[in-house]
Structure 1
């Protein structure tokens, strides 16, 4: 599935730089998952101070990642929402240092989300106890096989109902996080 320009943002070298701070992808993710929020609400949700959150929300707004939700709040509280449903990134479109900074910020967000999910396992209803996994599979693949694996898994995932824009979800459907990471095992010899 190709990005939809009405809902999705394809990162460029310029826009990518706005997401290299570790807090910014977390803010954007929280707005996408939970909907509009003030900087104070985001700070509370993310466990960071309000001043830092407010600064980074403004930086995201300048870069076009978030927009003010003018229909919410009052003159004292500024509410923000994600400007796009999804973000697409191609590592070929940016220098390696910026790409690494962005991917590190994304990985930090994944780790934080995983830690919070683990902390909530004991509070899950019985039907959700076996509906998640933290699995790791190490495979021996060629670059072409790894690319094919990504395509096949992405196609499978996109066959399911997205969190945003869904009106036909069953009553018991809840947001589920699926992180796809395929990378050459670090620390292995080149040959």
Structure 2
């Protein structure tokens, strides 16, 4: 039986109308993703990693903090450098809980982040260690499914993913384990007629 798609309240944040608006700027999901993947950082380090200026990064980190997405990592900072960490491991979003314009803005920002990560991964292919050369995929599958079958497929895939070791909070990972990005996009193929 597939694992339900419900979030874990100890690790996950569920977007509502207010928090969703805080993530509609395209840089904010990128900042949040970087903190989740790479751990705590200063605004300057985030800016260098994301290729944007420090002032903009600092502003958007503060906005994320106001919305509860990031918290100060005070044990790492000093009076001059503020370090930030992601407050949650994952973000859950239900399109039924927000207006369509805000939903589209958020999902557009998320998709842009996915595309950027994919481009960076492709750029690094030539430098991968041998054991990682064939360990990933950039694949696309188009299926003809009902809404019920689509929901079932999504739940099955998520169940498989959850059966593996999460990136954060894992102490029993083998020495060769590295963060692996799995992006799941399931949607009705755009621009196609129902027939």
TM-score range, shorter chain: over 0.9
Structure-2 residue corresponding to 1:116: 120
Residue 73 of structure 1 and its aligned partner are, at CA, apart by 2.1
List runs of 5+ in structure 1 lacking aligned partners: none
**Structure 2 residue aligned with 1:42, among 25, 42, 46?**
46
After superposition, the C-alpha distances for 1:146-186 in whole angstroms (9 at most, x for unaligned) are 11100000000110000001111111000000000011111
Structure-1 residue corresponding to 2:183: 179
Q: Distance in 2 between matches of 1:84 and 1:135?
A: 29
TM-score w.r.t. structure 1 length? 0.98
TM-score w.r.t. structure 2 length? 0.96
The number of residues matched between the two structures is 191
After superposition, the C-alpha distances for 1:7-27 in whole angstroms (9 at most, x for unaligned) are 110111110000000100000
After superposition, the C-alpha distances for 1:117-154 in whole angstroms (9 at most, x for unaligned) are 00000000000000010000111111111111000000
1:24 is paired with a residue whose SS is: helix
**Structure 1 residue aligned with 2:58, among 35, 54, 57?**
54
Q: Distance in 2 between matches of 1:70 and 1:132?
A: 36
| Corresponding position: 1:139 with 2:127 | no
| Corresponding position: 1:63 with 2:67 | yes
Which aligned pairs between 1:58-137 and structure 2 lie closer than 5 A?
Answer: 58-137=62-141
Q: Distance in 1 between matches of 2:98 and 2:171?
A: 36
Q: Distance in 2 between matches of 1:3 and 1:180?
A: 16
Q: Distance in 1 between matches of 2:37 and 2:113?
A: 13
List runs of 5+ in structure 2 lacking aligned partners: none
**Over 3 Å off, 4+ runs:** none
